[in-house]
Every structure is written in C-alpha cells, then in structure tokens.
C-alpha cells in the first residue's frame, strides 16, 4: 500500500508543478478577444485650432480637459454615462455663461467606465452648483489619467 501511495503523490506533485510552470509562461501573452466599448456623453465647451485659443477662451471654466484629435483641440467640461444627467449638467454650464455641445464618445476602458457609473449615481442625487462642479472635477481628472494618458 505504501509503495503505491508515494509514487501517486509524487506524480501529482510533479504534475502540478509542471502545469503551473507551463500556464505561467502563457499568462501574459493572452490577447483579449472582446474589448467592451460603451457610449458616454461629453459636454464640449468648444473646438479650437490652437492651444493659445484654448487658454484664451476657457478663463471662465473651473476645470476642463483638452483632447487633441487631428488638428483641433476639444475642450470637455463634463462627462457622464447617464443620459438623464446630460440635461442637468448642460443647464448648469449654460447658466454659468458657456455654450455647450453634447457629444457621444465610445470608450473601452473598463476601469474608467466603472468609476463613471459610480460618479453618475452621485450626480443623480446631487442638488447642483458646487456639488456638480466637484463631481465633474473628479471625473475629468480620472478621464485624463485613465483614458487620455493610455491613448498616448
């Protein structure tokens, strides 16, 4: 009985070790098959041809992000995943004297999308004013960190 148990346990241990080594070699080389993309809404304050114009025309804004595409600089003041929050945010920025255009973007960063959904819950329950501004400040900083810096 002892003669059979020792080889069986040894075979299992060696098999586990070899399996672990083989799987660890391929762990980092696996490509994602599905890249989830979701639609988000960005409130755009303007599109400018140069960074000088961006700084010139955004003096009224507390916080914003600039995204460059082709030859233009797009200034985003708010980002949301929830269509219901778009009107609340748009009215807030219009009341502060800004012209706002709502754009739809497709994002594939799961970490940012999850954070945005959590911030959207805060936006829904916020009363406006300073709360909206602080929440958007956080969202835009996360957008800069997780989305824009990963594109470069």
Q: Global pTM?
A: 0.71
Which pLDDT value is given to residue 38? 87
**For the chain, what percent of residues have pLDDT higher than 70?**
91
Do 78 and 121 lie in one domain? The reply is: yes
Q: How far is CA 82 from CA 41, 45, 59, 116, 117, in A?
A: 8, 19, 28, 9, 8
Mean local confidence (pLDDT), 22-45: 76
Do 96 and 63 lie in one domain? The reply is: yes
The rounded mean pLDDT for the chain is 85
Q: How far is CA 71 from CA 2, 50, 151, in A?
A: 77, 8, 16
Domain count, the chain: 2
Do 104 and 122 lie in one domain? The reply is: yes
How far is residue 77's CA from residue 137's CA, in Å, rounded to a whole number? Answer: 9
Is the pLDDT at 88 greater than 80? The verdict is yes
């Amino acid at each position: 009985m002892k003669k059979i148990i020792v080889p069986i346990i040894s075979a299992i241990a060696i098999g586990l070790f070899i399996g672990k080594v083989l799987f660890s070699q391929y762990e980092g080389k696996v490509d994602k098959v599905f890249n989830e993309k979701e639609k988000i809404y960005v409130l755009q304050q303007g599109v400018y041809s140069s960074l000088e114009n961006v700084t010139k025309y955004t003096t009224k804004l507390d916080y914003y992000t600039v995204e460059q595409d082709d030859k233009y600089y797009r200034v985003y003041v708010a980002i949301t995943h929830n269509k219901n929050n778009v009107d609340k945010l748009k009215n807030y920025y219009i009341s502060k004297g800004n012209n706002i255009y709502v754009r739809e973007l497709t994002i594939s960063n799961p970490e940012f999308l999850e954070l945005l959904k959590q911030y959207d819950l805060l936006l829904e329950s916020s009363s406006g004013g300073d709360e909206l501004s602080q929440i958007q400040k956080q969202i835009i900083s996360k957008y800069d960190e997780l989305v824009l810096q990963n594109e470069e």
